[in-house]
Copies of this chain bind each other. A is one copy, B any other.
Amino acid sequence: MRLTVLGCYSATPRAMTNPTSQVLEIKNQMFLIDCGEGTQVQLRKAKVKFSRINHIFISHLHGDHFFGLPGLISTFRLLGREKELHIYGPKGIKEAITLFLKLGDSWTNYPLIFHELTSKVSELIYEDEKVSVSTVPLTHRVYTNGFLFQEKPNPRTLDVKAVAKFKIDKSQFNNIKNGKDVVLEDGTVVANKKLTLDPPEPKSYAFCSDTQYNEAIVPLIKDATALYHESTFLESELHLCQKTKHSTAKQAASIAKQANVGSLILGHYSTRYKTIALFQEEAQKVFANIELADDGKVFDI
């Protein structure tokens, strides 16, 4: 799993900071999460091939999380895209995008498929053989979802030494990988467990932005390998969190601790602070494994 942060600052695009967008690579799939203005340019800078993106997840319809979407959809058309593009986001997103394309008489040549979300409880919104994506309902000024990306359990891997020891023929290898036991020529049954190794633990990534501090999300993101949780403010601006429905770095760390995640990536910083190192300092008093998102930064999860 590889996360590329395209933008992680709150509010408005500036010369050196970009609004929210991330691209998550899992098992050779590329998932785009949020699409603030400037996402296209950030994708180019990160050298992400546009054609690899087939699924876009939009947390909520504030401009800094989705005003880059009409342009990206149009660019896909100009690049001659033919494959389906799936958009997951709050109800209303289809009408908005459709209107923008209609006004420019620029309907896409490729199938554009909207999955509009309205549920206030977590739901499975995407699934294939290797990955599933569920919503994490968040608490913000408008209807907002976080997203939990989970690898499915990996298959057991062939124990090369063991199969050599039992002199098992290559023709059996696929059966062994699929969990079958092996019957030797003398009739002995060798259990699959003796011929395979434990697979790597499946990984998971939870994206939670934007949101007020809310412990209700803890069971949904429990034990995630990595959690991105917004930290718009520091505790010194805690009074702003109630009105704006954002979190502090300390609150994000508290959620990470309760959910027992592997690491916490902070982001969605207000630009009022002199350095984002302050967010790490504050959060580390509560939870040890803190990472700071920054535009263009890559995390191997």
Contact = CB atoms under 8 A, between A and B. Distances in A.
Interface of A: 11-15, 37-38, 40-41, 44-45, 60-63, 67-68, 70-71, 74-75, 78, 90, 92-93, 95-96, 99-100, 103-106, 141-142
A131 B61 CA distance: 38
Contacts of A100: 63, 67, 96
A246 to B, nearest CB: 14
A46 to B, nearest CB: 10
Contact of A37 (B15, B38, B78, B105): B38
A71 B44 CA distance: 21
A65 to B, nearest CB: 9
B142 A105 contact: yes
B67 A70 contact: yes
A60 to B, nearest CB: 8
Contacts of A13: 38, 40-41, 71
24 contacts: A11-B78, A12-B40, A12-B78, A13-B40, A13-B41, A13-B71, A14-B40, A14-B44, A15-B41, A15-B45, A37-B68, A38-B38, A38-B41, A61-B103, A63-B74, A67-B70, A67-B71, A67-B100, A90-B103, A96-B99, A99-B99, A103-B142, A105-B141, A105-B142
B71 A63 contact: yes
A71 B105 CA distance: 21
Contacts of A67: 67, 70-71, 74, 100
Contacts of A75: 11-12
Contacts of A93: 103
A41 B61 contact: no
Contacts of A44: 14-15
Given A15-B44, A63-B71, 10 more contacts: A13-B40, A61-B104, A63-B104, A67-B67, A67-B100, A92-B103, A93-B103, A99-B99, A104-B142, A105-B141
A106 to B, nearest CB: 7
Contact of A103 (B15, B70, B96, B103): B96
